[in-house]
A and B are shown apart, each in its own frame.
Chain A
């Protein structure tokens, strides 16, 4: 019984939150990795673009809510999501045209692109602040829990409860669907194959008649979709604060690099790896240990690192990968 209780506590406090967070990171890292594969730079504006897409989605959600539209048990934000994606896609396409295309034509060094993306980050940050302000916003509605703590306890008779929030389940479902669609697109469609060809060997792709600007446009549209979905899921699961979206940049980069920049499967694996390490390292294990070793009275909380330092975990993972395997676990690209 105690082992079951320990397992439930582990699922409730570590596995489920980490899985949801990992899915959000995976979507973010997929966007970073795609942009890296095609445009060959690390996009520092990623977090703030996620925030922008989410802000648009929130505004549309509020509009729909005031009209009385709802999706029943599902959050209304899902209805607003396509609008958010479309707006973000238009914006990033405009930015690519006005900012990045010039440097592409010049064949500028990757670091110049990174710097331009910092400028874009500033602008995006300002736009998001302009749209929705800097305060915390909650926009989740519909059913809050798929499994409630009390129901679970009554149902199983365990003393430890398990809660599955609907946003967590939704995150996982949406991520699976999105990834399936993305891999289908990359592996099965002509445009997806063109993108992969362009990523593998630019010159050869140009030779075989692939239009580079079309590939770039497609990449931005897909990246905008991934960014907005990741941002909205993160916002639904936690809450929306623009500064958090700047801070999530580090775990996303860590995830993308762990998996190997430019490698989509690596990005997904990296997202989950970073999320699970982060949650496992910052979770106080005293409760689980109490069930597993009933006689043992540990002195502290058995918490390896305070939650304030969760970013240090992504940083350490990043450093370890850079030290031992700079191309990432799944062999990404190198410039």
Chain B
């Protein structure tokens, strides 16, 4: 932030060279087979795909932090709520689920939201706490009266296979935009409350909303089957098995000298890769255009000196809300892309350390305030996060080699997997202190 900015100019070649090094790492992963790299293009592209999704999420965080100085610790929640979109949009409708309780469910949710809105209006008009409390209690009773039977009916409907409300059967690519909208709505609700107060209140409130969204996904079986997981979410790209049975593709693979199985995997991943690249570059383009506009200059002015910007007549809280919602929408898009890539919605996999704070490490390392920096940081940190799992045990083995055999040595060898957290924490602390502008600093 403004207090830690280094004045030194940075070579214009820095970003291209760093991206080149990154590309070399992925080529090595794809071609060289030794103790450090797998030598498989499938692995290399799989890491790259997830890296690109992380890059989209990192762009969202970068909008909030780099351009407005907002600390969002609920990234995991916005990713998760974005991930809900492919389930609700692209899955085929569940037979009988809508008839079992769909309208009643929608009505109950409307009643719930309506109660909150009504409470707000009543409070604004009367300023009497007990009237508001009465409205809330009555609304809650009405909500539960509508909600509980609807949920029971929906969950009872073929509960072994589905038991949820089902999707709309629309194309999965559409769900990426819907995921962004879901996350934006959640962000608006949080931001409306927590912005404009002390800066760490937003951090604490987003931490809460993150945990709550994940808890909802885990426990509301009618929504996305909870911990029973939703599998076989439709894909925007061909399936490997179809490719392998397609004679034209088999020919094509043979001409390039690949086995059919390997080639089909690579082909699918390249399809995903191009989709992700389109989204990523589109978001970067929009972000860069916005930042070069008067709006972008205003955002930076607010970030660097809120008081001065306020004195110039800028509504700081409203602009913060705006950029917070936009950034969260981008994170939501990333969440939807992640579920589309996995083809699986597993709420238990949403771990805040992995999904919130790792994205933060990516942004800080890459260079907060610079979109290309965020992308670089995301792909690089993701590559390292995956590879450290492979390299860690080897490294620990080397380090504890001189120790005598025994419990301690065995324990240390076993806990190599946990080293990732220490390593990432150290990376964050070191970069924050010694290079607060990151690898590719803001211009």
Contacts and interface: CB of A to CB of B under 8 A. Distances in A.
Specify whether A and B are partners.
yes
A311 B215 contact: yes
A126 interface: yes
A253 B203 CA distance: 11
A245 interface: no
Interface string B196-213: 011111011101110110
B425 interface: yes
B433 A102 contact: yes
Given A247-B211, A322-B197, 19 more contacts: A42-B200, A42-B204, A44-B203, A44-B207, A108-B3, A109-B69, A109-B199, A115-B71, A118-B73, A118-B357, A120-B425, A125-B425, A130-B412, A130-B415, A246-B353, A311-B211, A311-B212, A312-B212, A323-B193
Nearest to A311: B211
19 contacts: A41-B200, A42-B203, A109-B2, A109-B3, A110-B198, A116-B432, A119-B425, A119-B429, A122-B353, A122-B421, A123-B426, A124-B425, A126-B420, A126-B423, A126-B425, A129-B415, A309-B215, A311-B211, A322-B193
Given A121-B425, A126-B421, A111 B208 contact: no
A334 B364 CA distance: 27
Interface of A: 41-42, 44, 99, 102, 106-112, 114-116, 118-127, 129-130, 133-134, 246-247, 249-250, 253-254, 257, 300, 304, 306, 308-309, 311-312, 314-315, 318-319, 322-323, 326, 334-335
B33 interface: no
Contacts of B364: 115
Interface of B: 1-4, 69, 71, 73, 140, 148, 193-194, 197-201, 203-205, 207-209, 211-212, 215-216, 218-219, 352-353, 357, 360-361, 364, 412, 415, 418-426, 428-429, 432-433
Nearest to B411: A130
Looking at A42, A44, A111, A134, the one whose CB has the most chain B CB atoms below 10 A away is A111
B175 to A, nearest CB: 26
B418 A114 contact: no
A126 B208 contact: no
A309 B219 contact: yes
Nearest to B412: A130
A107 B71 CA distance: 18
Contact of B71 (A108, A111, A315): A111
Contact of B148 (A114, A129, A300, A308): A300
Nearest to B196: A326
Nearest to A111: B199
Contacts of B71: 111, 114-115
Given A106-B4, A306-B219, A322-B197, A315 B208 contact: yes
A129 B416 CA distance: 10
Nearest to A127: B422
A99 B429 contact: yes
Contacts of A309: 212, 215-216, 219
- The winner among B198, B420, B426 for most chain A CB atoms within 10 A is B198
Contacts of B207: 44, 249-250, 253
Nearest to B414: A133
A109 B1 contact: yes
B204 A106 contact: no
A120 B203 contact: no
A60 to B, nearest CB: 16
Contacts of B219: 306, 308-309
A110 B199 contact: yes
A99 B433 contact: yes
Contact of A122 (B2, B193, B198, B422): B422
B205 A308 contact: no
Contacts of A250: 204, 207-208, 211
Contacts of A257: 201, 204
Contacts of A126: 418-423, 425
Contacts of B424: 122
A331 to B, nearest CB: 14
B422 A311 contact: no
Contact of A118 (B69, B360, B423): B360
Max chain B Cβ within 10 angstroms of own Cβ: one of A114, A126, A253, A314: A126
| Nearest 9 Cβ contacts at the A-B interface | A122-B425, A126-B422, A126-B421, A123-B425, A129-B418, A315-B208, A119-B428, A119-B429, A42-B200
Given A109-B3, A133-B415, A322-B197, A246 B429 contact: no
Contacts of B420: 126
Contacts of B361: 122
A112 B203 CA distance: 12
A123 B433 contact: no
A132 to B, nearest CB: 10
Contacts of A318: 204-205, 208
Contacts of A312: 212, 215
A129 B420 CA distance: 11
Contacts of B429: 99, 116, 119-120, 123
Nearest to B434: A102
Contacts of A110: 198-200
Contacts of B200: 41-42, 110-111, 114
A125 B193 contact: no
B241 to A, nearest CB: 37
A112 B432 contact: yes
B422 A119 contact: no
Contacts of B1: 108-109, 111-112
